[in-house]
């Protein structure tokens, strides 16, 4: 199993995000949210470990606009400044290299999305409730964090909200306690989680259990799946998500055991441009329903991210294609599995679309401007398909399962995938990586072996 390694340098796309001088291994968040006033009151407790040098000061990412009620390090008041989305903290005395320490931050405010070239990121107030969509750097819109994808930690999140609302967080619901007119929901996510993959959904939802057959990895039970859906949309939801339990079984067959304890989907009572994946949870909009399964490829895409992106996470944002290319390919595999167009046919169609578009995208380092370009998703899927053709069927699927097992809950780079894939064939794979990932020009699709 791969373990978290401290990144040697700041993320090249977001150098201001995160602090490489320490790592967090657990967050405990206690939040009180009032939907009518969009008021958030929070206490965040972080358990962290200093890196290889003494820490005289360190920083957390927290959006401007919150009022701080105090910061402590190991229970003692610490000096801090909070400017331009950075909470800089100076403990009373320097922390020794490798020392474990705790930070507690109390804060209040009206959370709003962090601005970016892709629009607002993070905490979003809805007509009646809220949701979080943080990729890539929106997590500081609602809690103080070390906001880099490689710094994965476990989470316990308690959210208090008015009792008519359901609160959904990625993870296992530990307790739900009602006092007077408020209910506190406490969730635990024990698996290491990147800060951008932590989400909260608050709304008026019906709770729908989705069960499948027992997992072959645990014959006693299927992976627990739950949906949170506005009541009026339940009939459409039943059709649009009706095959998700089967999809879970299929993905366990091809990708290996589902990497978390449960999976939830939320249909927010709002239109969303795209669905949002988070650890153990995906959020869709009302526009993704319709009773015709028109968005089923997106259901597959978000579920596949649980393996590719969430369990196996990128070391930094240059490697985003590792998340999106495999999730795109999962759409094609699902289509093939249910008797729709084959992966080969979908790859050929994607190739002909890309051939008509600009050839200025380098997949293994697209740059911040193009990291969410539609071409990255399709070309990423094609790179995976080229790998399948190069390795052959048996070796390709063994390679896929090996990748998710060896790097379960870890962080990876493109170079890690190249080295991994090479173990499954005597033919050199570097040519595939050079053509599909490092050269901007679109190569021809390789022929079937």
Mean pLDDT of the 269-284 span:
94
Specify the pTM: 0.95
pLDDT at 220: 57
Name residues whose C-beta falls within 8 Å of residue 125's C-beta, 6 or more positions apart in sequence: 35, 38, 111, 112
| Residue 326 falls inside a structural domain | yes
Going edge to edge, which strands form the sheet with 22-34?
76-77, 67-73, 100-109, 39-50, 22-34, 153-162, 182-193, 172-179
| Residue 444 falls inside a structural domain | no
Q: Where are the beta strands (DSSP E) in 295-421?
A: 313-314, 411-412
| Residue 446 falls inside a structural domain | no
What CATH number is associated with residue 233?
1.10.390.10
Residue 5 pLDDT more than 50?
no
In terms of domains, do 154 and 22 share one?
yes
Interval 134-147: pLDDT, tens: 999 999 999 999 99
Closest to 368 (Cα-Cα) out of 1, 67, 104, 117: 117
Domain membership of residue 353 as a residue range = 313-438
What CATH number is associated with residue 21?
2.60.40.1730
In terms of domains, do 9 and 99 share one?
yes
Q: Are 157 and 26 in contact (CB under 8 A)?
A: no
In terms of domains, do 352 and 398 share one?
yes
In terms of domains, do 415 and 383 share one?
yes
In three-state secondary structure terms, 290 is coil
Interval 305-339: pLDDT, tens: 999 999 999 999 999 999 999 999 999 999 999 99
In terms of domains, do 222 and 102 share one?
no
Q: Are 51 and 94 in contact (CB under 8 A)?
A: no
Residue 211 pLDDT more than 80?
no
Lowest average pLDDT, out of 58-62, 191-195, 210-214, 361-365, goes to 210-214
In terms of domains, do 345 and 303 share one?
no
Determine the Cα–Cα distance for residues 87 and 63; give it in Å rounded to an integer: 9
Q: Are 256 and 405 in contact (CB under 8 A)?
A: yes
In terms of domains, do 213 and 178 share one?
no
Q: Indicate the average pLDDT of the chain.
A: 94
SS3 of the chain: helix, strand, coil, percent, to 5: 30, 30, 40
195, 222, 252 - which closes a domain: 195
In terms of domains, do 340 and 426 share one?
yes
């Amino acid at each position: 199993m791969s373990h978290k390694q401290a990144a040697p340098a700041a993320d090249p796309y977001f150098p201001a995000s995160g602090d490489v001088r320490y790592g967090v291994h657990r967050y405990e968040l206690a939040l009180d949210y009032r939907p009518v006033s969009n008021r958030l009151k929070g206490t965040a407790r972080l358990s962290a470990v200093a890196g290889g040098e003494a820490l005289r000061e360190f920083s957390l990412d927290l959006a401007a606009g919150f009022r701080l009620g105090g910061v402590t390090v190991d229970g003692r008041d610490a000096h801090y400044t909070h400017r331009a989305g950075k909470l800089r903290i100076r403990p009373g005395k320097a922390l020794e290299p490798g020392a474990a320490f705790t930070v507690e931050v109390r804060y209040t405010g009206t959370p709003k999305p962090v601005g970016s070239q892709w629009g607002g990121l993070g905490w979003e107030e809805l007509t009646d409730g809220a949701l979080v969509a943080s990729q890539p750097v929106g997590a500081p819109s609602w809690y103080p964090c070390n906001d880099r994808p490689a710094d994965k930690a476990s989470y316990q999140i308690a959210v208090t909200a008015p009792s008519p609302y359901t609160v959904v967080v990625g993870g296992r619901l530990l307790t739900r306690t009602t006092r007077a007119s408020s209910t506190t929901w406490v969730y635990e996510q024990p698996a290491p989680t990147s800060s951008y993959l932590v989400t909260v959904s608050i709304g008026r939802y019906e709770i729908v259990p989705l069960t499948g057959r027992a997992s072959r990895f645990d014959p006693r039970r299927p992976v627990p799946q739950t949906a949170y859906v506005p009541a009026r949309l339940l009939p459409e939801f039943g059709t649009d998500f009706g095959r998700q339990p089967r999809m879970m079984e299929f993905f366990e067959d091809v990708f290996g055991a589902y990497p978390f304890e449960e999976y939830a989907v939320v249909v927010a009572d709002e239109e969303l441009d795209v669905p949002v994946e988070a650890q153990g949870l995906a959020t869709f909009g009302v526009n993704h329903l319709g009773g015709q399964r028109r968005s089923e490829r997106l259901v597959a895409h978000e579920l596949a991210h649980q393996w590719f992106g969430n369990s196996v996470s990128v070391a930094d944002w240059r490697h985003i294609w590792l998340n999106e290319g495999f999730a795109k390919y999962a759409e094609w595999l699902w289509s093939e599995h249910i008797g729709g167009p084959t992966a080969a046919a979908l790859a050929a169609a994607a190739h002909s679309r890309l051939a008509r578009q600009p050839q200025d995208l380098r997949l293994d380092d697209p740059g911040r401007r193009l990291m969410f370009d539609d071409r990255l998703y399709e070309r990423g899927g094609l790179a995976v398909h080229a790998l399948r053709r190069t390795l052959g069927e048996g070796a390709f699927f063994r390679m896929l399962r090996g990748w998710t097992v060896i790097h379960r809950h870890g962080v990876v780079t493109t170079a890690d995938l190249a080295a991994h894939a090479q173990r499954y064939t005597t033919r050199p794979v570097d040519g595939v990586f050079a053509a599909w990932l490092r050269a901007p020009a679109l190569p021809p699709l390789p022929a079937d072996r």
